[in-house]
Structures are given as structure tokens and as C-alpha cells.
Amino acid sequence: MDRRAYNAGMTAKELYDHDFVEWTRCNAALLRAGRVEEIDLEHLAEEIEDMGAGQERDLRSRLRVLLTHLLKLQVEPGGRATQVWKTTARVQRDEIRQLLDRAPSLKRRIAKDVTGVYRLAVSGVAAGTELPEAQFPETCPFSVDQVLADEYFA
């Protein structure tokens, strides 16, 4: 299929700023047809890198939510929302596990990401509970194994 005819004479590179969805379709068609010289290689490389960065952001986001709920369970054990917090922790663990299954290289990041998002989780919990941030440990009190363990709830 000649994608250029479909796109009123636009090249793959010109499509990038005009219609991103069509840009993806066009470049995929060019790849499948072996017409590598027509592919928008510069933008394609950026988009591939962005896909990986998105997976990293997803991991950090899920770890932050998980840590937030583990901290809530620690500072308000038996609170009225305990079951909701445990359910959220389970969901985040499942999602993290699926993410790591799809992208095993992210396993190397977990310890660093737990450390990196811990203070953000503390800020969120402190704001939601009106506890001072100083009341929380300076570093994450949970090991990576505890963070990821299905039945660990602080």
C-alpha cells in the first residue's frame, strides 16, 4: 500500500506533526514493505525511546501508589479504609508484576525507584492524614521484597 498516495503526497516525516496516528500507520506499512529509506527514522527512534520511558514512569507511579497505601496501613492500622488500602496494594502489586513480566529489565530499577518515590508517598500520606512528614522515617522502612510481597501490609 502506498501510504503517500493516501496522505495527499505527505512523506512519513511530514505526517509526524500533521497526524500522529496516520504517521504510525504509515511508518508501520513502510517497515512491513521493507521501504526503510522512506521511514521517518529520527521520530521513530524518539517514539521507541518514549515507549520505554513510559514503562519506567508506569513502574514509578505504581510503586508510589503502593508505598502510599503501605504507609497508610502503617500509620493508621485498623483504620476505616484498611480494606480499601489493602485492595489497592494488591492491585498495584499485580500490575507491577505484569509490567515486570512484559519488561524484565525494569527489575533492575525497582530498588532505586522505591527509594526515589518514597518521599513523594510520604508527602501524600502526610497531607491526607495531617501527620507531619517528620514523623515518617527518612528512608523507606520497607524492603523491596516487602513492597512486592502479596501478603505484606506493614
Average pLDDT for the chain:
92
DSSP designation for 141: S
- Region of 54 (left: φ > 0; alpha: ψ -120 to 50; beta: rest) is alpha
Res. 49: pLDDT tops 60: yes
What pLDDT score was predicted for residue 60? 98
Q: What are the tens digits of pLDDT across the range 13-31?
A: 899 999 999 999 999 999 9
Nearest-angstrom CA–CA distance, 24 and 16: 8
**What is the pTM (predicted TM-score) of this model?**
0.83
Nearest to 113 by CA among 105, 49, 35: 105
Res. 105: pLDDT tops 60: yes
Please state the domain extents for the chain.
Answer: 3-39, 54-148
Name the CA dihedral angle for 150, 126, 110, 154, rounded to a multiple of 10 degrees.
-30
